[in-house]
Structure 1
Amino acid sequence: MNNRISFRLAMLEDAEALLELTLRAYAPIRELGIHFAAATADLDLVKKNVLNNACYVMLRDDVIIATASLRMPWGQQPGPFGVPHLWWFATDPATSQKGDGSAFLHWLETAVVKDQLKTPYLSLGTADNHPWLIEMYERRGYVRSGSADLGKGHLTIYLKKTILPHLINKSNT
């Protein structure tokens, strides 16, 4: 193995590998009793995600080690701010301390959101009762920007990160 890292859009053929990765990565979420769709995903939900969102994968030597999706404002599940909304972010727990998640998130923010989509913000949502996710995203430059009770047993905290500040409409922030 040469530790070659690559990124691409997920394909339907990746669905089984994505499901296995997701269920392993979200095991701690299930143990916390937090209701994220990805935590109890099945093969049909994975396929729906791949078909309806921009689902990306990070590979090491052609093996998927991370996945994340962008829900678009025009899609079936838009985020709250009219910009791409990050969700279903999972990294392989076997490599979780190697910086793969940070590298993948950085790639999504720059190569996709900034360079391809040219979007001023990226948003995400997480559970208010998760013990460390909000703080982790805040350390990465995300700012709390709202909340909602989506009926999942927790308050969803929305965060957004400025990606291209010169595109921000100052009267609409």
Structure 2
Amino acid sequence: MSDVYRLATLDDAERVQQIIYEAYVTIRELGLSWPAANADVHMIQENITHNKCYVLEQGGLITATITLANPERFKELTDSTGLPFIMWFAVDPNVQGTGAGSKLLDWVEQQIIRDEVGAPAVTLGTSEKHPWLLPMYQRRGYESIRVRDAWQGEGPMHLMRKVVHPERFEQFSAERKQAEAEQTPTSS
């Protein structure tokens, strides 16, 4: 079975919507108001058109998807971190546990975020209320960098970051600290 990593096209919208809908059952059951959890085909088409929606195709069938957010559409978030944001990660429940999701996430982190975008790290958001997402991302090397209760009743939401290029991240952190220091007024 050959693996193909690629950008989704509008022709993929129905399959991507099916995967996301089926994979996000727990999110709906928990009452989390994530847009992807109830996305219809039109929303998926908008996502494919305005962001970079990647898919993993195995044996000719899309088995996983993840989206790199367009920084202009998520300006407040990407400006606050200075880093790319990934979202709408989903794996077909029929292949969960086979490594398909890990393969796609690894590929996006390394080939897209580190090599193509040139970013030192990547961010994503998840809920503490979900029983396994936060620990899964932590095992994959993500750390919480901001926690807040964004929506009433949804509990703490974690903005998480994973360093994908340590040397670049050191330089990035030093430059951000310097920029913050220059913007902070000094008291006399």
Question: TM (normalized to structure 1)?
Answer: 0.91
Q: Distance in 2 between matches of 1:152 and 1:48?
A: 27
> Does residue 66 of structure 1 match 2:64?
yes
Rg larger in structure: 2
Contact 1:84/1:122, CA 8 A, preserved across alignment: yes
Pairwise CA distance, 1:162: 0.6
Matched to 1:86, the amino acid is: I
Cα distance between partner residues in 2 of 1:29 and 1:99:
21
Structure 2 SS opposite 1:57: strand
One-letter identity of the residue aligned with 1:81:
T
State how far apart, in whole Å, the 2-side matches of 1:152 and 1:111 are.
Answer: 37
1:157 alignment counterpart: 158
> Distance between the aligned counterparts of 2:104 and 2:167, measured in 1?
24
Residue in 2 that maps onto 1:141: 141
Q: Residue 103 of structure 1 corresponds to which residue in structure 2?
A: 103
Count of aligned residue pairs for this structure pair: 170
Q: 1:32 aligns with which of 30, 33, 50?
A: 30
The 8 Å contact of residues 59 and 65 in structure 1, kept in 2 or not, is answered as yes
Q: Deviation at 1:49?
A: 0.6
1:109–1:122 Cα contact (<8 Å) kept:
yes
Alignment of 1:6-25 (within 5 A): 6-25=4-23
Structure 1 unaligned residues grouped into runs of 5+: none
| Contact 1:124–1:159 under 8 Å retained in 2 | yes
- Distance in 1 (CA, whole Å) between partners of 2:173 and 2:74 is 26
Contact 2:50–2:70 (CA<8 Å) still a contact in 1? no
Higher strand share: 1
Q: State how far apart, in whole Å, the 2-side matches of 1:113 and 1:170 are.
A: 17
1:113 and 1:42 map into 2 onto residues whose CA distance is 27
Shift of the alpha carbon at 1:148? 3.3
- One-letter code aligned to 1:147: V
- TM-score between both structures, scaled by the size of structure 2: 0.85
AA at the equivalent of 2:173: K
CA distance, structure 2, for counterparts of residue 55 and residue 25 of structure 1: 16
2:127 maps to which residue? Answer: 127
Distance 1:144-1:4 versus aligned 2 partners, 3 A rule:
same
Output the aligned Cα RMSD.
1.5
Matched residue type, 2:87: W
Distance 1:152 1:100 in 2: 34
> Post-superposition shift, 1:33?
1.8
Instruction: Work out whether residues 21 and 90 of structure 1, in 8 Å CA contact, stay in contact via their aligned partners in 2.
Output: yes
Q: Please state whether the residue corresponding to 1:51 is helix, strand or coil.
A: helix
Amino acid at match of 1:22: I
Could you say which residue in structure 2 is the equivalent of 1:76? 73
| Identical-residue share of aligned pairs (%) | 35
Equivalent pair of 1:69/1:87 in contact (CA under 8 Å): yes
Contact 2:13 2:44 in 1 (8 A): yes
- Residue by residue, what CA displacement relative to the aligned partner does 1:4-28 show, whole Å, maximum 9, x if unpaired? 1111001111111111111111112
Out of 53, 56, 78, the residue aligned to residue 55 of structure 1 is 53
